[in-house]
Amino acid sequence: MYSNEDFLIELLTEAGYVSPQDLQQAKINKKGQETPLTTLIKTGVVNEEQLAQLVASNSGMEYVDLHGFPANPALKTLVALELAKKYKIVPIGMNGSAMQIAVADPYDFETLDALPHVLQPELEFYCSTPNLIQETMVTIYGNEAMTGSTKGEGAGTVGDTDAPIIKLVENMLMDAFRNKTSDIHIEPLEKDIRVRFRMDGVMVDIEHHPKRLLSSIIARIKIMTGTMSIDEKRVPQDGRIQMKFGDKELDMRVSIIPTQNGESVVMRVLDKSSLRLGLSDLGFFSDDQDTFEKLISLPDGICLVTGPTGSGKTTTLYACLNFINRPDRKIITVEDPVEYELPGINQVMVREDVGMTFAAALRAMLRQAPNIIMLGEIRDSETAGIAIQASLTGHLVFSTLHTNDAPSAVARLADIGVKPFLIASAVRGILAQRLIRKLCAECKQPTGLSDKEMRHLGLEASQMASANIMGPQGCNKCRNSGYRGRMVIAEIFKVDDEVRTMINQDLTTPQLRKRARELGMRTLREDGVRKVLAGVTTASEVIDATMSDAE
């Protein structure tokens, strides 16, 4: 019932409510799981009001007598019933902007610390008895407050499951953090709950839990965000969790949607260490890195990074900004959403609900006199047009497009309404990329390639003499997968004078691609082959990531 009963018994003894003989008798008479304090109250040695008043006085809180507390329907809008039952509290009014809350245990510091985050920062605490708080809860919320569970499939007994659920969720997040997980998926199935982690781009089945725990797990995650409604289970909700594990900060974007079997959760783990990555950390070989660094060091124009969702485009853009960020340059970004805070860079978040679209933000940014602009994505003709004009008036612009390869970006810009002569004038270079898994350095083993793999990769037997082909083995460091971490494979399409002429002539993407190859552009698959031959990844990883690149 109370968090520190030994301390409370000492208070009662010092105040003269309980004698040593009373305490000894209580220890003898207590039944089952009863505590001595519970027995003292049950046998009438001390009553709850006396204890609550003593505790209130000692803790510096004001005691509030809730006998006959009037029914006030407005109070239930201040605190959700699930929260009231979870923390054993009731709202009793407002004092200006401060919410007044009655608690049963002023020494439950975990609860007192949590409430400002899950309710509102400004709270006034009062102390009352557990029974009076329960009675007042029924007065405010109705008969539903008398039950130990809340409505909805899988709801468990509040109180009985709180501590285990808190630990379960915390352990899940710690496990994800330790294993460098990018996404945590909590999926309600017909008979149980499946938890999966996405590690190095691959979904891995981690554990299953009884279906009855679903509501408690979801409620705990919603409470941790501090912004989601526990009662609302019919519409999608988005939030964010920020917490610390030791000296490490964990930042997650949370998405919850209702499904046929209950609410489903995806938590995207935002790895702040990626903010410090350089281009070499992404997996570029030195020649590609040198070419790309020259492109992003130009004084103006547009540099595009292309690829499907999940191919690491944003991380590459951040690495570009890290490379060119200097005190004498002003950099502004427009992102949807701003996932990471970049030191020394002005970041703007898209909010279409208030009219802050990519285009509107970009127009406003240009009045801030930036040297360098980063757009999260070029989505439409308006945004593309403004970005083109910015690049032609002395700004260096970075952005992304969803295309399969680098030359296709030209056609994509034309499709959304940009004239070929503007594309030719503004675009300086296009990087297409994919992410592939790296072999675990601790356990990779020498191996060979099958005839089929060599055909897919376009390799000749003569090329194998100097190759260092390695394969996955599996160890504790990589969870026996054989892979640890991911890297970029890339193709870099430089827009030089000859390519500009071709764009102005409105040549097709295959024609552009053919000429770019003749001028030395290495394709995604060819870059992947280099990394297979160097022993840092496998043929299957490259083949799977570059199916559209097969020729």
Residues 182 and 126 in one domain: no
Residues 260 and 285 in one domain: no
Cβ count within 10 A of residue 378: 27
536-546 pLDDT, tens digit per residue, is 999 999 999 99
Q: Is 472 contained in some domain?
A: no
Q: Is 544 contained in some domain?
A: no
Q: How far apart are CA 20 and CA 453, in angstroms?
A: 82
Cα Rg for the chain, rounded, in angstroms? 31
Residues 316 and 233 in one domain: no
| Candidate from 229-233, 286-290, 398-402, 446-450 with smallest mean pLDDT | 229-233
Task: List, in order, residues 6 or more apart from 358 with CB less than 8 Å away.
Answer: 334, 336, 350, 375, 376, 377, 378, 379, 380, 383
Residues 141 and 166 in one domain: no
Which CATH number is 30's domain given? 3.30.300.160
Kind and range of the H or E element at 230? Answer: none
The answer, yes or no, to whether residue 219 has pLDDT greater than 90, is no
The CA distances from residue 460 to 123, 448, 470, 536, in Å, are 73, 13, 17, 19
If one counts the domains in the chain, the total is 3
pLDDT of residue 484: 93
Final residue of a domain: which of 239, 270, 301? 270
Cβ count within 10 A of residue 5: 15
50-85 pLDDT, tens digit per residue, is 888 988 888 889 999 998 888 887 888 888 888 888
Q: Among residues of the chain, what percentage have pLDDT more than 90?
A: 50
Average pLDDT over every residue of 297-303: 96
Task: List, in order, residues 6 or more apart from 156 with CB less than 8 Å away.
Answer: 149, 165, 212, 213, 215, 216
Kind and range of the H or E element at 192? Answer: strand 192-199
312 or 117, higher pLDDT: 312
- For 420-457, the three-class secondary structure string (H helix, E strand, C coil) is HHHHHHHEEEEEEEEEEEEECCCCCEECCCCHHHHHHH
Residues 325 and 407 in one domain: yes
Residues 326 and 353 in one domain: yes
Q: Is 473 contained in some domain?
A: no
Sheet harboring 89-95: ordered strands across?
A: 62-63, 123-127, 98-103, 89-95
Q: How far apart are CA 23 and CA 37, in angstroms?
A: 8
Mean pLDDT of the chain: 88
Q: Is 216 contained in some domain?
A: yes
Residues 346 and 238 in one domain: no
- Strand duo 248-259 + 237-245: pairing: antiparallel
Residues 199 and 281 in one domain: no
Q: How far apart are CA 302 and CA 429, in angstroms?
A: 7
pLDDT band per the 50, 70, 90 thresholds, residue 174: confident
Terminal-to-terminal C-alpha distance of the chain:
71
Give me the domain span that covers residue 239: 161-270
127-160 pLDDT, tens digit per residue, is 999 889 988 998 888 877 765 533 333 333 334 3
Average pLDDT over every residue of 363-379: 92
Which CATH number is 202's domain given? 3.30.450.90
Final residue of a domain: which of 119, 145, 171? 145
